[in-house]
Amino acid sequence: MNKAMQELRRLEKKLYALQYAQNVIEYDDATVAPPESYEGRGEAVAELSAFEHALMTGETLPRLLEEVKKEPLSEQEAAEVEELSRRYRRISCVPAEEYAEFSRLTTRAMSAWEKAKAASDFSLYQPYLEKIVAARRRFAALLDPDKAPYDVLLDQFEPGLTMETCDRFFGELREVITPLIRRITEEGKKPDTSFLRGPWSLAGQRKLSDRVMEVMGIDRAHCTIGESEHPFTTEFYKGDVRITTHYFEEDMASSFYSVVHEGGHALYELHIADRLMGTCLAGGVSMGLHESQSRLYENNIGRSLPFVRAVFPSIQEIFPEQLSGVTAEEFYKAVNVAEPSLIRTEADEVTYCLHIMVRYELEKQLIAGTLAVGDIPAEWNRLMKEYLGVEVPCDRVGCLQDVHWCSGDFGYFPSYALGTAYAAQIADAMRRDFDLDAAVERGELSAVSSWLAEKIWQYGKEKSPAWLIKNACGAPFDPHYYTDYLVKKYSEIYELD
């Protein structure tokens, strides 16, 4: 390895340590930290961000990035240089003081959002969000003044993604989903869901989480499960991945499928190749691809009849009172009910992407400067009515429901829909290689994880999302796999002919 590359690796190690510390703080914040402790944590995070900024923008990194190219590089080294160059461009365009200030702002915004949501009062959050939108627009212009700011933001979450692609993608989805929802509502035979009402003991649900993680083949020596307001996954490194869930006494399916979903994220991180550890390539490649893995487990596998058949005996054993007279087929239909609703994270597979489209339209306008932050609630409610046909009674279950904008994550939401559509194409490719349904029904999910590890997981950030999709599926991304899957699955469940 050339000398500059060795120095670069040492710098990557420092970045790894900083990221590790930030992730620990973030995990702590969302799980066990006391409610009135954000001030001190915000200061610590701001200082760590300042360290990171100094490390990334000091004279060392740009010098090394130049020097290192003078000697031949291995494929992995070249990918590291490319990734660091990308991060350097992104971070070096923002002045240090502004960068730290933004970090403080987002910590305060998080606390304001929590209070605003509890009180269902958008005005408590509005001043913070105004500053965040302004900062994001400014950062986007600094990074690439020639591009539309929202395109700059989309690209940060899913390299290569643009508004043009999103408009076309969402347009195609709407063309299929809107008439499908109409048919489900007007002609469909609605499955019985009465037995899902509960109550479901939290002790039983915790036991079920353990069982689900076992079936998925998640190594508990390297992955724990905690509890938080919103389920999430965070990785410190491939040997320590944390997932969380949220238990509701009246709804066991919520946590059940959160664990399957977050478990999919965790498996990805747990299977990154050892050779990438400590480098900037460790970790999933993009938000869209990460979401494709969690969605694949949650929807294409988890909400399939073979998976329900595999785990239903365990669920019944844990909850004999609620489920003694219920069959696996009835349970499968009940957890797949499709109905327009208010909350994105609780949405079914058919309506989910419409929730994303509402956020996409708002973000596009906010970042373009054609929508004022103060007008978000009214515009949100109007779009929910137009896309999903639902009336939003208050902001708590409307525009205050998601945490993402607190952290300035504009451009993130579309990757959820994209990942959901990637997942259908990946599942289809998997079916061509082995009998997916048979393996899942036998509870042999190792067939799934070894296939994904080989085609996708091992590469970390070494390959682009487009390369990984082509490598796994043998063809570029095509949303038809997703729309075809939805139509087929829901026509059967709702007995549409």
Residues in contact with Zn ion by the rule CB under 5 A: 294
Best CA proximity match to 359, nearest among 380, 341, 343:
380
State the nearest-atom distance from the C-beta of 291 to Zn ion, in Å.
5
Task: Detail the DSSP E strand segments found in 231-280.
Answer: 233-237, 240-245
Rounded distance between C-alpha atoms, residue 477 and residue 114, angstroms: 37
Nearer to Zn ion by Cβ, of 294 and 299: the residue is 294
Nearer to Zn ion by Cβ, of 294 and 304: the residue is 294
Reported as type and span, the H/E element at residue 104 is helix 96-119
Nearer to Zn ion by Cβ, of 262 and 363: the residue is 262
Rounded distance between C-alpha atoms, residue 312 and residue 325, angstroms: 12
Q: 297 with 216: CB under 8 angstroms?
A: yes
Kindly list the distances between the CA atom of residue 450 and the CA atoms of 64, 217, 409, 458, in Å, as whole numbers in the listed order.
37, 11, 32, 10
Reported as type and span, the H/E element at residue 113 is helix 96-119
Q: Which long-range contacts (CB under 8 A, 24 or more apart) does 198-201 make?
A: 198/249, 198/250, 198/251, 198/252, 198/322, 199/249, 199/250, 200/248, 200/249, 200/250, 200/251, 200/252, 200/319, 200/322, 201/249
**Residue 135 is which amino acid?**
A
Nearest residue to Zn ion by CB is 294
Nearer to Zn ion by Cβ, of 138 and 404: the residue is 404
Structure tokens at 210: 């353990």
Sequence-distant (6+) residues with CB within 8 A of 276 are 76, 282, 460, 461, 462
Nearer to Zn ion by Cβ, of 201 and 345: the residue is 345
Write down the residue that tokens 């509960």 correspond to.
198
State the nearest-atom distance from the C-beta of 345 to Zn ion, in Å.
10
Nearer to Zn ion by Cβ, of 102 and 360: the residue is 360
Nearer to Zn ion by Cβ, of 344 and 364: the residue is 344
Write down the residue that tokens 């269902």 correspond to.
120
Based on the number of CB atoms within 10 Å of its own CB, is 370 exposed (0-12), middle (13-18) or buried (19 or more)?
exposed
Rounded distance between C-alpha atoms, residue 73 and residue 32, angstroms: 44
- Parallel/antiparallel/unpaired status of strands 233-237 and 240-245: antiparallel
**Residue 133 is which amino acid?**
V
Q: 394 with 146: CB under 8 angstroms?
A: no
DSSP string, 407-452: GT-TT-HHHHHHHHHHHHHHHHHHHHHS-HHHHHHTT-THHHHHHH
Catalytic residues: 262
Nearer to Zn ion by Cβ, of 107 and 233: the residue is 233
